[in-house]
Structure 1
Amino acid sequence: MTTYFIQAFIYLLAAVVTVPLAKRAGLGSVLGYLIAGVLIGPITGLVGSETASIQHFAEFGVVMMLFLVGLELQPRMLWNMRHKLIGLGGLQVGLTTLIVMLAGISLGFSWKPSLVVGLIFSLSSTAIVLQTLAEKSLDKTDGGRASFSVLLFQDIAVIPMLALIPLLATPELFTSNAIQAQSAHAELSLVAHLTGWQYAAVMIGSVVAVIVAGQYFSHPLFKWVAKSGLREVFTATTLLIVIGIAALMSLVGLSPALGVFIAGMVLANSEFRHELESNIQPFKGLLLGLFFITVGAGISFEIIKNNLATVLSLSIAVITLKAVVLFGLAIIFKVRKSDGWLMALSLAQAGEFGFVVLAFAKQNQALSPEWAAILSPVVAISMIITPLLFLFFDKVIVNKYRETAPTPKETSSINKQGKVIIAGAGRFGQVINRLLMINGFNTIVLDQSVSIIERIKRINMESFFGDATQSDLLHTAGIESASLLVIAIDDKEHVLDMVKHIKHQYPKLPVVARAYDRGHAYALESAGANYVFIESYHSALEMAKTSLNALGFTAESSEAAKNHYLAIEKQHHPDLLNAWKASKDASHLFDNYLELYMQLEAAFTERDNGVDKNKHQSVKPV
């Protein structure tokens, strides 16, 4: 047990030290993790033999990432992007594989291992690219969207690749050890002894089962768990689903990534989507970080030293070849200017699935152990170089095209009506949401009451389950790109805590907050809320105005009385706010606050005594 604690401490310490430094230097978090692995592995030797075992565990971070990608992909969206998905992504994988295979054959290698190497190098790093695009806010550009289409096709293409590799096995590579390993592995398979058609039926049935379960059984399950009010149980349920599907896919010989990706797509329209994202994100981030550390730690300097020319030439050749292919496709598919460069540079590396295909090819005797040992650092080095390519894009490419970029005046009308997050879907939040929606604004409504979520869905008002006071849920809802946050929840303390957190993390984000009473309103203003509304204040004023009408005031007189009340309130508000703040710091100053409040009442009384009675109706109210 002590050994595990020490190893965990070393991995975490390396990440805590190097990742912030790499991020601050503009290299990105992924390169920071890779550097951390190199430091504690090949350079210092603090970790070693356990790296391969940890990497298998950390690969689950990639599985979780694909689940999150699936959650973001509604089937309609996938259909809309089919041209780039199949055309751009399909051509990239096909052309890269073909060119690498032909190059291998021309160098005297057999076509089978050449094809395997082509498949490995055709894949890019989904983890590095998506994370870096998000960190640099490039994921919404044309280049970012095109890169996402290619990555998505690659992730899906891994499945047929893994099915094809056993057919590419070379008889000379079979050994008794490999046969024993395969037989041991077969004990964990449900399809090891099935015929071809039975195997196909089981695979199709497994995929159908995932889709059906996600469509019909997930909602009652999440609803039942959500009503418990225990967030940790919801997190456990999310992990249960992801791990269960991954295990099922592994048992039937399919990729776990495919299963959870499909499950994510099925759940993309669920009102629990944002809560699922916020629960998975921390695990995904930690496991992906651990995966990249193990990649860096697993690089063998001895193999690189003995095959330095081969490793470096292959690394440069892979990056150059993929960049040329991608840039050519960018021209064909009209991904213009800096966006074309972004796609070409961001996807030029080999990817984490390359390690998976590489290991699978080695296990199935489609690639020799010697070449697998050489190709592994090639994949790793290309991934390490990727953040440097992003840096080149930032410093050189962007500056080159900046002169021809549209000015702020030209772009000010684009997406003028930004995204609004509304915390609270009760009677208060529903009114705000509907008014914003009919005026063309995109809203994301969050509430932790399942019954409220279901009720407002019947009136075609989209909302999502989750505790809006949790920062990770706000992150998955897109707080970084939001134009406004409306806090309409009815818990005084949670509203105040939420305003404090938002103004600390996102000081420039406008916040409209619902206050319970005058003191709560002062507290919210002090915490930084831009606009504060006491929940019953304006409805009470309208009710008071109607009461004046019922008592004989004319409509004009009662409206004037209400407006005067508002004017006096506004005039005395700064003094009352400052007095309230002082009274919070020192209790003996509370009398000063009361005195000012009495002055406010006196101002109202003085105005009331001067009301022109002739404006009253001459008839008695009914």
Structure 2
Amino acid sequence: MQDHLLINIVLLLIAAVITVSISRRLHFPPILGYIIVGIIVGPHAFGWIDKEENIELLAEFGIVFLLFGIGLEFSFSQMVAMRKQVFGLGTAQVLTTAVVIYLIGHFAGLDANTSIVIAGAFALSSTAIVIKQLTEQSEIHSRHGRSTVGILIFQDIMAIPLLILIPTLAMSGGEENALTWALGIAFFKGVLVVIIMHVIGKYMLRPLFHEVASAKSQELFTLTVLTVAISAAAFTEEMGLSMTLGAFLAGMMLSETEYRHQIESDIRPFQDILLGLFFVTVGMIISLEILFNNFLMIIGLTVAIIFVKGVILYSISRVFDKEPGVSARISLSLSQVGEFGLVLMTLAFTYKLLPEEEGNILLTAAVISMAIAPFMVKFNGHIARMLHKDSYKADHNEIATTISEDNKHISDHVILCGFGRVGQTVGRFLHSSNRAFLALDMDIKRVHEARAAGERVYYGDASKQTILEAAALRKSKIVIITFSDFHASMKILKTIRSMDPDIPVLVRTLDDQHVNELTEAGANEVVPDTFESSIMLASHLLLMIGHPPSQVLKQTRNIRKNRYQTLANFYPGEGDNPLEQHQVMKGIIHSIHLDESTYAVAKKLKTLKLKRFDVNVDAIKRGHVRGENPSSETTLRLNDHLVISGLPEDIKRAEKFIKTGKYTKKSHAKYAL
């Protein structure tokens, strides 16, 4: 059974579903869930799968699609905008870390090849874990967030030559002359491949995707994306280089086309699943016996990795004039080993460049550092404040003092939390109305640009009480939160309400899925983008077809006055699942046909008492006539269509009663979750 690929994959999928679900519940990264699956099913634990070679090919495709996806994200303009962080901080961090770890390995008695592999692998950090965690914490545009992202971009760039280096080291056999010759050949091949891929990308890929897109076939488009990614990988492999290099270059070529976002969404399912299989194979390499036998050594190595990388990152950040608190947050965010480090070490095992036992010990320490990473990123602010209490507080106070000094005479003003496109649009309306306002934003570049243009915009975290006090919250007229990030809005809203329970707060959100939570947290008004765009579109339509402006204005006012309740329910389609977590509180509209067997036929609406099911009777369709908001005295007839709205569970109970006359009490189980 263990030699059958299909049985192996079924076992993996079952274990993955269970383990990754538990990891999600515990807020662990899915990567760690997959690694745990590999440990469980691998030859060193239960031994359900003795030969990881059976899934190695699929796992390699996972890395191919990972590099292809990173290539799609690889924007030249983004690098230019962040050149100081990318090529300054990033270069210094990777080179310094690699040299220090190489020297440590050398003095510890490791051979040159092993030291090179470990130095390259440990110099890299986890893009997947760090970016995800920073985004969830709304810190991606903060000072430490931008520097962290810049370093990660350079690390991703450096992963490519490191992936070329591994097979080159194996070819050289460790001899210095042979290594120099092999590196020279690899460099020449690499340059040739880049030129060829650039020509193909410029003169063939764009016309190809234009032609494919014109066919308007989703299947053909996805098939073409897969063909391009795998063909590029096969090409570089035939050239004696890593196939991941070809995938990265193909992604980079396609990132310049207008199809980038569509390609990214098409490739994502393949990338996530196959990449998961790669991390499963990493887990299968890890030996529980080695972990238990060398537990203290592995824990010591993990601490050493975090400490050495942390000290280097902190020192380099200080050299680049970053404040002590910001430097500490950068070092805490990036002091783990990343997925590319695991890729390099796994590749080194394949080419016999890492001794099995020592390599397994180092690999296990790297995985544990990744397990700790989400928590270090999450609490980087708290730890930084503990380490640099005085300087951190002084820096924070300096920001607050600047805001306070500039606005000491301001009152009855509007506070804009967020100065992106929506915030700037609101600001222009306030300008034209001669209404004073000040804006708080965490994007340094945007703040500098706006302040240089004379806008009253300040760098500051609006979720901090000191910043809101400096912005004269208690003397302001109203606060507007314009961030699209729900978590950021909630943090700000809770801080505002802890300071002033009465000040009006207007919150913008992308859609209606968080309206209730924001309202319960203290928002006076919540404006969902989707509803407002629908209202504006409908208003323009009515005006264009000749409806009186006063009537249109009255309709839109009523909708907003009722907090969009009129628009809250929708007819569900095949692609909609109202019971999904993010749609639990969203209502639907449902039509019930009254046939000969229906209990409600010949009964008045008032006798049915449908209100007890928490549903609303919107209309009755009789023949070709639809009657809106029917009277409770209306008698239902055969072949009527009764249109009701409410939550899916309530609709189901009401329909059962209408059809059979049987009353079922409401279950509160799902609301208790």
CA spacing shift, 1:533–1:374, aligned 2, 3 Å: same
- Contact 2:38–2:280 at 8 Å: present in 1 too? yes
Distance 1:568 1:100 in 2: 70
1:362-382 Cα distance to aligned partner (Å, 9 max, x none):
555644344333323232222
Distance 2:129 2:487 in 1: 25
Counterpart selection for 1:222 from 209, 228, 236: 209
Distance 1:203 1:172 in 2: 20
The one-letter code of the counterpart of 2:122 is F
The alpha-carbon deviation at position 128 of structure 1 amounts to 3.0
Matched position secondary structure for 2:538 = strand
Point out which structure has higher relative CO (alpha carbons under 8 A, 6+ apart).
Answer: 1
The one-letter code of the counterpart of 1:24 is R
CA spacing shift, 1:127–1:106, aligned 2, 3 Å: same
1:233-284 Cα distance to aligned partner (Å, 9 max, x none):
1111111111111111222133333333333333333221111111111222
The alpha-carbon deviation at position 99 of structure 1 amounts to 1.6
Aligned to 1:247: 234
Distance 2:186 2:552 in 1: 75
CA spacing shift, 1:137–1:287, aligned 2, 3 Å: farther
Aligned to 1:233: 220
Distance 2:308 2:183 in 1: 37
1:476-528 Cα distance to aligned partner (Å, 9 max, x none):
xx986899xxxxxxxxxxxxxxxxx96458987421578xxxxxxxxxxxxxx
Does residue 18 in structure 1 map to residue 6 in structure 2? no
The alpha-carbon deviation at position 324 of structure 1 amounts to 1.3
Aligned to 1:511: 530
Distance 1:481 1:208 in 2: 44
Matched position secondary structure for 1:65 = helix
1:89-104 matches, cutoff 5 A: 89-104=90-105
The one-letter code of the counterpart of 2:530 is V
Matched position secondary structure for 1:124 = coil
Does residue 274 in structure 1 map to residue 258 in structure 2? no
Distance 2:249 2:58 in 1: 21
Counterpart selection for 2:421 from 405, 417, 430: 417
- Contact 1:15–1:32 at 8 Å: present in 2 too? yes
CA spacing shift, 1:50–1:415, aligned 2, 3 Å: farther
Distance 2:199 2:486 in 1: 34
The one-letter code of the counterpart of 1:249 is T
- Contact 1:583–1:589 at 8 Å: present in 2 too? no
- Contact 1:323–1:345 at 8 Å: present in 2 too? yes
- Contact 2:71–2:251 at 8 Å: present in 1 too? yes
TM-score (norm. length: structure 2): 0.59
CA spacing shift, 1:50–1:152, aligned 2, 3 Å: farther
1:572-611 matches, cutoff 5 A: 582=617, 584=619, 587=622, 592-593=627-628
The alpha-carbon deviation at position 530 of structure 1 amounts to 5.5
1:113-161 Cα distance to aligned partner (Å, 9 max, x none):
4343322322223333334444444433333332232222223223433
The one-letter code of the counterpart of 1:67 is F
The one-letter code of the counterpart of 1:354 is G
Distance 1:506 1:235 in 2: 36
The one-letter code of the counterpart of 1:148 is V
Aligned pair count? 470
Distance 1:392 1:572 in 2: 45
CA spacing shift, 1:303–1:284, aligned 2, 3 Å: same
Does residue 146 in structure 1 map to residue 147 in structure 2? yes
The one-letter code of the counterpart of 2:148 is S
CA spacing shift, 1:75–1:92, aligned 2, 3 Å: same
Does residue 376 in structure 1 map to residue 363 in structure 2? yes
- Contact 2:52–2:284 at 8 Å: present in 1 too? yes
1:179-578 matches, cutoff 5 A: 201-336=188-323, 339-362=326-349, 366-393=353-380, 396-397=383-384, 404=396, 412=416, 414-418=418-422, 503-504=512-513, 509-512=528-531, 533=538, 536-541=541-546, 562-563=548-549, 566=552
The alpha-carbon deviation at position 103 of structure 1 amounts to 2.2
Provide the aligned C-alpha RMSD in A: 4.5
The alpha-carbon deviation at position 44 of structure 1 amounts to 5.7
Distance 1:417 1:122 in 2: 37
CA spacing shift, 1:68–1:347, aligned 2, 3 Å: same
Unaligned runs of 5+ in 2: 176-180, 404-412, 425-482, 489-509, 517-526, 568-588, 592-615, 632-673
Matched position secondary structure for 1:349 = coil
TM-score (norm. length: structure 1): 0.63
Distance 1:120 1:353 in 2: 7
- Contact 2:72–2:255 at 8 Å: present in 1 too? yes
Distance 2:416 2:423 in 1: 15
CA spacing shift, 1:68–1:172, aligned 2, 3 Å: closer
The one-letter code of the counterpart of 1:276 is I
Distance 1:335 1:9 in 2: 50
Unaligned runs of 5+ in 1: 175-193, 421-477, 484-500, 515-528, 543-561, 597-622
Aligned to 1:64: 65
Matched position secondary structure for 1:139 = coil
Distance 1:62 1:166 in 2: 16
- Contact 1:63–1:256 at 8 Å: present in 2 too? yes
- Contact 2:69–2:251 at 8 Å: present in 1 too? yes
Matched position secondary structure for 2:244 = helix
The one-letter code of the counterpart of 1:90 is T
Aligned to 2:80: 79
1:442-489 Cα distance to aligned partner (Å, 9 max, x none):
xxxxxxxxxxxxxxxxxxxxxxxxxxxxxxxxxxxx986899xxxxxx
CA spacing shift, 1:416–1:298, aligned 2, 3 Å: same
- Contact 1:127–1:288 at 8 Å: present in 2 too? no
Distance 1:505 1:566 in 2: 27
CA spacing shift, 1:234–1:317, aligned 2, 3 Å: same
> Which deviates further from its counterpart, 240-249 or 333-342?
333-342
The alpha-carbon deviation at position 391 of structure 1 amounts to 4.2
- Contact 1:156–1:258 at 8 Å: present in 2 too? no
CA spacing shift, 1:111–1:568, aligned 2, 3 Å: closer
- Contact 1:42–1:301 at 8 Å: present in 2 too? no
Matched position secondary structure for 1:412 = strand
Distance 1:572 1:353 in 2: 55
The alpha-carbon deviation at position 231 of structure 1 amounts to 0.9
1:369-421 Cα distance to aligned partner (Å, 9 max, x none):
4433332323222222323323443765589879948789998364242499x
Aligned to 2:521: none
CA spacing shift, 1:294–1:368, aligned 2, 3 Å: closer
- Contact 2:619–2:628 at 8 Å: present in 1 too? no
- Contact 1:34–1:384 at 8 Å: present in 2 too? no
CA spacing shift, 1:135–1:47, aligned 2, 3 Å: farther
- Contact 1:123–1:351 at 8 Å: present in 2 too? yes
Aligned to 1:119: 120
Matched position secondary structure for 1:123 = coil
The alpha-carbon deviation at position 322 of structure 1 amounts to 0.7
> Which deviates further from its counterpart, 42-51 or 161-170?
161-170
Distance 1:311 1:240 in 2: 42
> Which deviates further from its counterpart, 153-162 or 107-116?
107-116
The alpha-carbon deviation at position 321 of structure 1 amounts to 0.6
The one-letter code of the counterpart of 1:510 is D
